[in-house]
Amino acid sequence: MGYLGKYFRRHHRMFFLAIIILMLETAADLTQPYLMSSLVDGGVLKGDLQHIYRQGGLMLGLTAIGAVFAFSRNIISNTVATEFAKDLRRDMFEKIQGFSMDEMDSFSRGSLVTRLTSDVTQMQNFAGGMMRIFVKAPMIFLGSLFMTWRLDSRLAMVVTAVLPVVIGLMYLNVRIGYPLFRRMQASLDRVNDGVREYLSGVRVVKSYGSEASEGRAFGEAGGRLASDSEAAMRTMSFFSPMIALVVNLTLAAILYLGGRFHSNGEIMPGQLMAMVNYMTQLLFSIHMIGNIFNVFVRAKASHERIDEVFSSAGGEMDGENELKGQVTELMFDKVSFSYPEGSGICAIRDISFKVRSGETLGIIGSTGSGKTTVANLILRLYDTEYGVISLSGMDLKLIRLSSLRGKIAAVPQRPVLFSGTVGENMRWGKGDASDDEIRKALSLADASAFIESSKDGLDTRVGRGGMTLSGGQKQRISLARALIRRPDILILDDSFSKVDAVTESRIRKSLKSEAKDMITVLIAQKITSVMGCDMILVLDKGISVGLGTHKELLAESKEYREIYRSQIGEVEDGER
């Protein structure tokens, strides 16, 4: 049963209540033809009005009771299925939140969206169907088969003879249809990936006039989805009519044989009417069981895709120790790392440095040199392969993640803002921050002017991803959100790339006084951003090619001098 066992234990009482009500409803349905047979043969043919009234009253009463049972069962089954889907979707989301970055990289974002939405909906439909049709159809089938044998074994043998054909068609339906629906869901993943990628980069697409190219790419993904969907539906459209054909031919045979038996006086009219009713119910239940297998094929594919999420390795490996007090030292000791889904080439190799509280470490290098990887490792988004990273002498892997990340604030290369107001985004840094604290942090990040100029102030809505703000404004709000946290370690990953030199100068002056007790890691492309740092790490293709102050590196590091020359000009003698 796998992950489903938990949800069955959670909802089993209501589930079984729905099944019990369904059994009572089915019993009422199965009793109706028998009462009708008695009404015709014992009342109509004999002219017994009392018997007709009595049996007719029983039939009306059973109809009313059956309607109440059906109404109750529908309410319960819908409630249980909805609650099951809610719990499943929430637990999946929590599982995904706990993924390590390695695990997150193994799934495409579009695939995770499909699993959280479409696949969970398929499971919800299956769970609801079990309490409505999936259990009722087999019960109707068995009950009707029993009653047909009880009324006339000759006609019952006709249905029994057809059963192997129907079962064979259902088996082929599952065997052929399952891989097709699995492939269809994978195609839906690719469509979602394409939509997500386009929406996240819509401005770039428009600026390059690439709408036609994106349209073709989406058309290809949509075409594959349509092709896979058509293949799956063709299978369904073949087997469902075939089962219906067998069912209807069987019903025609029963009507023909029943008519002959009645002409020969071998069966009473009421018996024949009841027999036809039971046969109709029985054959309808066979048809419904065929439809159940169609739903089962889809649910099975979705179940396995959801199970892949829950079966993914245990998420981030948490440490056991709390990081108490102020972090006084950050140290990398011969650290190497390569991304699991990458080329296998080390992103950083044999990196060592030490930075203490109140100091700023600048990291500079060309694109792809491993600068952001250092930030990712400090946050323990990934674990080192070789070497040790320590905070205040404690190995990072031994520290509880909540404790570790509670001491760190990071401003990423691409600032991320969430739908909502400026104030709500700021409180991601500190949940109980007052408006005064928020304004102070915004002022430190040189963001207060454009916020206060808005008529809504802190209630200004930023839109999804901060789409209503400029790149520089997003960077400054992202920086303010980090500063309001008052972290022990502040990581700035190219966080001034979208602000002008004057604004950067003002922000750096504010940071100098605000971050005097922090360990600051400043990652930058511009050499002017790191020149004033206490220590500068120069990276080239993941390797440390220089570590020291600005003056030391100008004198000793060829790579640092090349960066300086390319951005500022020739090195004057007095600068060495």
Residues 3-31 have pLDDT tens digits of 888 888 888 888 889 888 988 888 888 88
**Sheet of 489-493, strands arranged across:** 394-395, 386-391, 329-337, 348-356, 543-548, 535-540, 360-365, 519-524, 489-493, 408-411
CA 62 to chain CA centroid, Å, is 46
Q: What is the pLDDT of residue 286?
A: 75
The yes-or-no verdict on residue 155 having pLDDT over 60 is: yes
Q: What is the pLDDT of residue 335?
A: 93
Backbone phi, psi, residue 330, to 5° = -120, 125
Q: Categorize the per-residue pLDDT at 457 as very low, low, confident or very high, splitting at 50, 70 and 90.
A: confident
How many residues does this entry show for the chain?
576
Taking the C-alpha atoms of residue 378 and residue 381, their distance in angstroms, rounded to an integer, is 8
Interior angle at CA 404, CA 399 and CA 406, nearest 5? 150
Domains along the chain with CATH numbers: 4-310 (1.20.1560.10), 329-575 (3.40.50.300)
Q: Categorize the per-residue pLDDT at 573 as very low, low, confident or very high, splitting at 50, 70 and 90.
A: low
Q: Categorize the per-residue pLDDT at 576 as very low, low, confident or very high, splitting at 50, 70 and 90.
A: low
Q: Categorize the per-residue pLDDT at 209 as very low, low, confident or very high, splitting at 50, 70 and 90.
A: low
Taking the C-alpha atoms of residue 109 and residue 521, their distance in angstroms, rounded to an integer, is 29
Residue linked to tokens 């019952």: 156
CB distance 155 to 258 below 8 Å: yes
Q: Categorize the per-residue pLDDT at 203 as very low, low, confident or very high, splitting at 50, 70 and 90.
A: low
Q: What is the pLDDT of residue 207?
A: 54
DSSP one-letter string for 408-448: EEEE-SS----SSBHHHHHTTT-TT--HHHHHHHHHHTT-H
Which span out of 101-105, 269-273, 483-487 was modeled with the highest average pLDDT? Answer: 483-487
Interior angle at CA 354, CA 349 and CA 358, nearest 5? 140
Q: Categorize the per-residue pLDDT at 62 as very low, low, confident or very high, splitting at 50, 70 and 90.
A: confident
Taking the C-alpha atoms of residue 541 and residue 357, their distance in angstroms, rounded to an integer, is 28
CB distance 539 to 363 below 8 Å: yes
Taking the C-alpha atoms of residue 159 and residue 240, their distance in angstroms, rounded to an integer, is 18
The yes-or-no verdict on residue 423 having pLDDT over 90 is: no
Q: What is the pLDDT of residue 260?
A: 83
Taking the C-alpha atoms of residue 536 and residue 521, their distance in angstroms, rounded to an integer, is 10
Taking the C-alpha atoms of residue 257 and residue 418, their distance in angstroms, rounded to an integer, is 71
540, containing H or E segment: strand 535-540
Q: What is the pLDDT of residue 222?
A: 82
Interior angle at CA 315, CA 311 and CA 316, nearest 5? 170
Residue 229 tokens, joined? 């969907």
- Model confidence over 504-549: pLDDT tens digits? 888 888 888 777 889 999 998 888 888 889 999 999 988 999 999 9
List CB contacts of 368: < 8 A, sequence separation 6 or more: 541
CB distance 490 to 515 below 8 Å: yes
Q: Categorize the per-residue pLDDT at 422 as very low, low, confident or very high, splitting at 50, 70 and 90.
A: confident
Q: What is the pLDDT of residue 226?
A: 86
> What is the mean pLDDT of the segment spanning 359-379?
90
- Alpha-carbon Rg for the chain in angstroms: 35
Tally of CB atoms within 10 A around 442: 26
> What is the mean pLDDT of the segment spanning 127-143?
81
Backbone phi, psi, residue 125, to 5° = -60, -40
> What is the mean pLDDT of the segment spanning 253-266?
80
In terms of DSSP H, where are the helices of 316-385?
371-378
> What is the mean pLDDT of the segment spanning 436-457?
84
Taking the C-alpha atoms of residue 29 and residue 32, their distance in angstroms, rounded to an integer, is 6
Q: What is the pLDDT of residue 210?
A: 67
pTM value?
A: 0.66
Q: Categorize the per-residue pLDDT at 205 as very low, low, confident or very high, splitting at 50, 70 and 90.
A: low
DSSP state of 547: E
The whole-chain average pLDDT of the chain stands at 83
Alpha-carbon distance values, 352 to 39, 175, 347, 545 (Å): 94, 57, 14, 11
Q: What is the pLDDT of residue 543?
A: 92
Q: What is the pLDDT of residue 350?
A: 92
Q: What is the pLDDT of residue 419?
A: 78
Helices 501-514 + 435-444 axis angle, to 10: 120
The amino acid at 229: S
Q: Categorize the per-residue pLDDT at 455 as very low, low, confident or very high, splitting at 50, 70 and 90.
A: confident
Interior angle at CA 249, CA 277 and CA 160, nearest 5? 70
